[in-house]
């Protein structure tokens, strides 16, 4: 997981809870030291360019060489305007190593957390040097199907549900254990996670805890298990699950509850 996620996610979540706009700029950068980050903060300051002040948050992912700026309360147009300034600064100081990608919540996505993770994923295929790209991963605009991550050690269940939901038009990713589930979660940022509690390596509770640590509201979680004890149900909901279904299950009922969660 990029270290930009934990740095920015708390701020994004607060903006989302308050239903306030929030801009994000990601730039492919050469290696930045702590000192160069401080210089960037000082030189860019907090002015939007039109005299108004902006609350800005900066972060740098050393491994991905990704520089990020979060702009509180800024819509896409003002974020783009500020990105021009960031681009000029990075080029002038020979720090820019590729393109820039910008977005603003809620204009660009229904989830601020998913927007951030998918922006980071898109930066793996950078555009032309100095190009400012606009993140357009908006399911509503592109009519992109909702995505589901299935985490179950039972390959028969995974295969059945994968085929079932793919035929219903969902994008489905499968993981066979909790660790694999966590890695796939970070790769695809799904709309919904359907997980068993009995999982190898990381059990379902540990998986939910790690997802909750990244983002409490980025994805819905449904537990699909043969555990029927009340304490398991209570613990699952306490750890962020939105629904709990026990086996054996009706695929029709399961689909109806999936639609309810991610429609």
Q: Could you read off the pLDDT of 126-172 as tens digits, one per residue?
A: 678 889 998 876 555 555 688 899 999 999 999 999 999 998 889 99
pLDDT of residue 77: 86
Classify domain 3-134 at the CATH class level.
alpha beta
pLDDT of residue 1: 58
What is the spatial distance between Cα 8 and Cα 16, in angstroms, rounded to a whole number?
Answer: 12
User: What global pTM score does this model have?
Assistant: 0.63
Q: In terms of pLDDT, which residue wins out, 47 or 230?
A: 230
Task: Please determine, for residue 13, whether its predicted confidence score (pLDDT) is greater than 70.
Answer: yes
Which residues of the chain form CATH 3.30.70.270? 3-134
SS3 content of the chain, % helix, strand, coil (to 5): 45, 25, 35
What topology is assigned to 147-262 in CATH?
A: Rossmann fold (3.40.50)
Q: Could you read off the pLDDT of 23-66 as tens digits, one per residue?
A: 999 999 998 888 888 898 888 877 766 667 888 999 999 888 89
Q: Could you read off the pLDDT of 61-99 as tens digits, one per residue?
A: 988 889 999 999 898 888 998 899 899 999 999 999 999
- Region of 58 on the Ramachandran plot (φ > 0 left; ψ -120 to 50 alpha; else beta): beta
Q: Are the C-beta atoms of residues 196 and 225 closer than 8 Å to each other?
A: yes
Which residues of the chain form CATH 3.40.50.2300? 147-262
**Phi and psi of 69, rounded to 5°?**
-130, 130
């Amino acid at each position: 997981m990029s270290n930009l996620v934990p740095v920015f996610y708390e701020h994004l979540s607060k903006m989302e809870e308050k239903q306030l706009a929030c801009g994000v700029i990601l730039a492919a950068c050469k290696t930045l030291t702590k000192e160069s980050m401080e210089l960037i903060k000082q030189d860019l300051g907090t002015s939007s360019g039109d005299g108004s002040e902006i609350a800005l948050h900066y972060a740098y992912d050393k491994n991905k060489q990704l520089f990020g700026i979060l702009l509180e309360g800024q819509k896409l147009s003002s974020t783009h305007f500020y990105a021009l300034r960031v681009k000029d600064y990075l080029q002038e100081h020979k720090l820019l190593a590729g393109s820039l990608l910008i977005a603003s919540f809620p204009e660009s996505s229904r989830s601020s957390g998913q927007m951030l993770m998918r922006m980071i994923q898109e930066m793996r295929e950078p555009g032309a040097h100095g190009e400012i790209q606009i993140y357009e991963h908006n399911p509503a605009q592109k009519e992109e199907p909702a995505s589901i991550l299935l985490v179950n050690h039972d390959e028969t269940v995974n295969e059945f549900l994968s085929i079932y939901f793919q035929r219903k038009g969902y994008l489905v990713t499968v993981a066979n254990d909790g660790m694999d589930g966590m890695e796939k979660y970070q790769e695809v940022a799904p709309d919904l996670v359907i997980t068993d509690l009995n999982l190898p390596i990381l059990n379902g509770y540990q998986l939910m805890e790690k997802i909750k640590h990244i983002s409490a509201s980025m994805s819905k979680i449904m537990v699909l298990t043969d555990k029927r004890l009340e304490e398991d149900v209570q613990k699952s909901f306490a750890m962020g699950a939105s629904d709990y279904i026990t086996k054996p299950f009706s695929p029709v009922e399961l689909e109806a509850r999936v639609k309810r969660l991610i429609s």
